[in-house]
């Protein structure tokens, strides 16, 4: 008989690049996971996955079994809610994925508040460099920036302007730019994320539009590292308002060209359409919308 652990195994394999990665998620050793997979394949009379030491790919049967397993697990998780008490307390598990920086600074404190409102709800916060739907086991995903391609439904949470900043020491040594033409004389720090073209800046001031191709001297995929480089006087950085507002308030950074607007990076909550009716997800969406817009 197929067990719940077999269903979780199939879903985890579909979202992992290797047996080792799947084993880490399930907290078992790779040999133990390989043995479980062989037993499941024997039980079904099917080959579910092609695997070697480094790669894992599901067969057509494996992909179908994974999809059906995911649906069954969702139904099992939703079962307690169908018998919930009249006070409508939320129960079960809710999994949210978010980028490292924004997840630590903004989402984690909000989830702490959400947990106090729903003490019987088990919350998982999965922080990743670039979380994306269908690549891991999440009920919802925080995504910063414009969406390229996703079948998930986007729930806009808040606007997120990008501000051009530098340290007081840098500006004292290199001068304060006041127009796009003066930017060519400066050093740049860039954040590489979500496969965006981070070296092409679009800016506007009223009806005036400007585009600038920059050459970064420092480049990182970690926004907090880029911000600290800017605080150390290493160049100008174009960074999300949520990340630099505290540094500006404390004097560690200075916002420049405030009369020019740069491309924003809106913050969205991505939810699969099949999850939208879940009371847990609906409660999370309503809570985050109210908290972030406030």
| Predicted pLDDT of residue 110 | 96
73 vs 125 pLDDT, higher one = 125
Whether 152 and 271 map to the same domain: the answer is yes
| pLDDT at residue 143 is higher than 70 | yes
| Predicted pLDDT of residue 260 | 94
| Predicted pLDDT of residue 228 | 95
| Predicted pLDDT of residue 150 | 63
| Predicted pLDDT of residue 108 | 96
Q: Region of 166 please: left (phi>0), alpha (psi -120 to 50) or beta.
A: beta
Please provide the average confidence, as pLDDT, over all residues in the chain: 85
Whether 43 and 108 map to the same domain: the answer is no
CATH number (domain holding residue 155): 3.40.190.10
Whether 147 and 167 map to the same domain: the answer is no
Exposure pattern of 211-250 as b/e (b: 16+ CB <10 Å)? eeebebebebeebeebbbbbbebbbbbbbbbbbbeebeee
Classify residue 120 as exposed, middle or buried by CB count within 10 Å of its CB (0-12, 13-18, 19+).
exposed
Whether 141 and 284 map to the same domain: the answer is yes
- The β-bridge relationship of strands 236-240 and 162-166 is antiparallel
Whether 175 and 229 map to the same domain: the answer is yes
Q: What own/partner pairs with CB < 8 Å and gap ≥ 24 does 120-123 have? A: 120/89, 120/90, 120/91, 121/90, 121/91, 121/92, 121/93, 121/94, 121/280, 122/92, 122/93, 122/94, 123/93, 123/94, 123/96
Whether 257 and 272 map to the same domain: the answer is no
Give pLDDT tens digits for 73-110: 777 776 666 555 545 678 888 999 998 889 999 999 99
pTM of the entire structure? Answer: 0.67
Whether 239 and 152 map to the same domain: the answer is no
| Predicted pLDDT of residue 66 | 85
Whether 34 and 49 map to the same domain: the answer is yes
| Predicted pLDDT of residue 261 | 93
| Predicted pLDDT of residue 133 | 57
Banded model confidence at residue 54, pLDDT cuts 50, 70, 90 = low
160 vs 198 pLDDT, higher one = 160
| Predicted pLDDT of residue 80 | 62
Give pLDDT tens digits for 225-246: 999 999 999 999 999 988 999 9
- The percentage of residues in the chain with a pLDDT greater than 70, rounded to a whole number, is 88
Banded model confidence at residue 195, pLDDT cuts 50, 70, 90 = low
| pLDDT at residue 67 is higher than 90 | no
Number of domains in the chain: 3
| Predicted pLDDT of residue 91 | 84
| pLDDT at residue 277 is higher than 80 | no
Domain end (from 83, 118, 133):
83
- The domain of 189 spans 162-262
Sign of CA dihedral 197, 139, 135, 24: positive
- Rounded Cα distance between 257 and 166, Å, is 11
| Predicted pLDDT of residue 74 | 73
Whether 127 and 249 map to the same domain: the answer is no
Banded model confidence at residue 111, pLDDT cuts 50, 70, 90 = very high
CATH number (domain holding residue 40): 1.10.10.10
């Amino acid at each position: 008989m197929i067990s719940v652990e077999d269903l979780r195994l199939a879903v985890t394999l579909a979202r992992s690049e290797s047996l080792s990665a799947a084993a880490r998620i399930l907290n078992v050793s790779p040999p133990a996971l390989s043995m479980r997979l062989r037993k499941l394949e024997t039980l079904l009379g099917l080959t579910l996955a092609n695997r070697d030491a480094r790669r894992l790919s599901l067969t057509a049967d494996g992909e179908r079994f994974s999809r059906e397993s995911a649906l069954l697990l969702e139904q099992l998780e939703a079962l307690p809610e169908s018998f919930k008490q009249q006070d409508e307390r939320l129960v079960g598990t809710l999994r949210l994925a978010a980028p490292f920086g924004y997840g630590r600074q903004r989402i984690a404190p909000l989830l702490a508040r959400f947990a106090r409102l729903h003490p019987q709800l088990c919350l998982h916060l999965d922080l990743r460099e670039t979380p994306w739907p269908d690549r891991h086991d999440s009920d919802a995903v925080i995504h910063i920036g414009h969406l390229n391609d996703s079948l998930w439904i986007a729930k806009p949470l808040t606007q997120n302007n990008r501000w051009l900043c530098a340290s007081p020491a840098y500006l004292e040594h290199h001068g304060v730019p006041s127009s796009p033409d003066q930017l060519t004389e400066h050093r740049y720090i860039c954040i590489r994320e979500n496969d965006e073209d981070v070296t092409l800046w679009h800016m506007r001031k009223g009806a005036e539009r400007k585009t600038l191709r920059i050459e970064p001297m420092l480049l990182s995929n970690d926004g907090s590292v880029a911000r600290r480089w800017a605080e150390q006087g290493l160049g100008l950085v174009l960074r999300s308002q949520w990340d630099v507002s505290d540094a500006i308030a404390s004097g560690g950074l200075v916002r420049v060209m405030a009369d020019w607007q740069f491309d924003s990076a809106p913050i969205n909550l991505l939810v699969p359409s099949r999850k939208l009716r879940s009371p847990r997800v609906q409660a999370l969406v309503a809570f985050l919308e109210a908290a972030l817009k406030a």
